[in-house]
Amino acid sequence: MASSQALSAAAAPASQAAYGQRAGLPRHLQKILSLHDFELAAQKHLPRPLFGYISGAAEDCVSLQGNRASFSQYGFSTKVMVDVSRRSQKTELFGQTWDSPFGVAPVGISAISAYRGDLVLARTAASEGIPAIMSGTSLIPMEEVAKAAPGTWFQAYLPGDTSRIDGLIDRIDAAGFGTLVITVDIPVWANRENNVRTGFSMPLRPSLRLAMDGLMRPRWMTGTLLRTLIQHGMPHFENSFATRGAPLLSGTAIRDTTGRDHLNWQHIERIRQRWNGNLVIKGILNEADAVMATDIGAQGIIVSNHGGRQLDGAVAPLDMLPRVVDRVGHRTAVMMDSGIRRGSDVLKAVALGARMVFLGRPFMYAAAVGGEQGVSHAITLLRDEVDRNMAMLGANSIAEVTADCLMATRD
């Protein structure tokens, strides 16, 4: 009886702390109990074209659905009666210790979905001790984000005009970024029919439909769009080149992001020679490409199908992850994104060899709905899920979350 009371007393503070945290949140965030809830809230908050741009994928969304389904092929094999009172999810990567094995993936034009979205994501990630990758298709100058959130990584799409590559790399270096992520899976624009159906276009075109949709969502209209225009003027693509890019509404915006189909590994080799920081190649779904990136000298690889937004029908990154780890995991840091929504997803990827995993859509939804407080809440929800699941797996450290914790539930 005494031991039972002691256990109850020990559990009470954690439960009360969790309640206190929810109680201290704004009412619209108190109801959000999972990352899935943020998506539903963002759908109500954002104009249909913007929500469609974030949530959508290529063609029939086969890869988008496959990314989520891939996690269901594994179940956990737990260890019980293990002292897990000192468990920690701290993770080492690139000589730095992070507080959790997950981070914020790059999301384009985030500053039009959430006020100063790039700053919101980067600052919150830094304060919570996780990595954030700033998107190359962002609307806030990279220098401003690097200053506000040191340690942020920068993701670049290589310019189709190769004469501009050196200047971009030098600018990223001068801004103070230590880790450069090159996304390589976008030689041409994907067939995103969803964008057409929801009314999203690039360049973003003013329309009666967009205006009416905005008026029906006054929090976004006044808190993001009008506030941005009044305080910062028309958003531009700030970081595609060494110099400022086109305005968001300009017809040159799409032309500035095309013509990449001639790029090849020699361009990555040239960047490796010029760039002295950590180099990460994002968009790998093939063991041979993983070997090539590693041989060139990449310190990291992100196994990714671009969240299902490029080639519809591409293999789920979780399925490719173990094969890439087997080939190059002893020489480079293998990471993963696409489809992660729960702490259990994070741990399944870690068990299969991922050193770090990244989430884009959920944190973007959180930024749109709740700003920095929303992103912090999303990180806490995911971190708490990872913590609880580690306890039930009998794991005290991330290093103890291995393939032995998993069992295939289907062929």
35-193+255-408 CATH pick, 3.30.70.580, 3.30.300.210, 3.30.2130.30, 3.20.20.70:
3.20.20.70
Dist. CA 323–CA 4, nearest whole Å:
46
Higher pLDDT, 395 or 197: 395
What amino acid is encoded at 168 in this protein?
L
**Is 106 known as a binding-site position?**
yes
Mean pLDDT to the nearest integer, 230-258? 82
Q: For 131-172, what is each residue's pLDDT tens digit?
A: 999 999 999 999 999 999 999 999 999 988 889 999 999 999
- At residue 5, the pLDDT reads 39
**Is 337 known as a binding-site position?**
yes
**Is 306 known as a binding-site position?**
yes
Q: Count CB atoms within 10 A of the CB of residue 403.
A: 14
Are the CB atoms for 151 and 178 separated by under 8 Å? yes
**Is 209 known as a binding-site position?**
no
Please give the structure tokens belonging to residue 382: 């995911």
Q: DSSP string covering 189-235, please?
A: ----HHHHHHT--SS----HHHHHHHHT-HHHIIIIIIHHHHHH-S-
List, in order, residues 6 or more apart from 239 with CB less than 8 Å away: 134, 136, 137, 138, 141, 142, 154, 156, 245
Tell me the percentage of the chain whose pLDDT exceeds 70. Answer: 91
pLDDT band for position 16 (50/70/90)? Answer: very low
Stretch (H or E) spanning 376: helix 361-393
Dist. CA 186–CA 263, nearest whole Å:
10
Catalytic residue among 45, 236, 306, 377: 306
Q: Which of the residue ranges 6-15, 72-81, 94-103, 390-399 would you say has the lowest mean pLDDT? A: 6-15
Q: Is the pLDDT of residue 19 over 80?
A: no
Q: Is the pLDDT of residue 9 over 50?
A: no
Clarify whether 306 is annotated catalytic.
yes
**Is 310 known as a binding-site position?**
no
**Is 340 known as a binding-site position?**
yes
Tell me the domain boundaries of the chain: 35-193+255-408
Mean pLDDT of the chain: 91
Q: For 312-334, what is each residue's pLDDT tens digit?
A: 999 999 999 999 999 999 999 99
- At residue 253, the pLDDT reads 62
Please give the structure tokens belonging to residue 237: 């693509």
**Is 155 known as a binding-site position?**
yes
Stretch (H or E) spanning 358: strand 357-359
Q: Could you tell me the pTM of the whole model?
A: 0.92
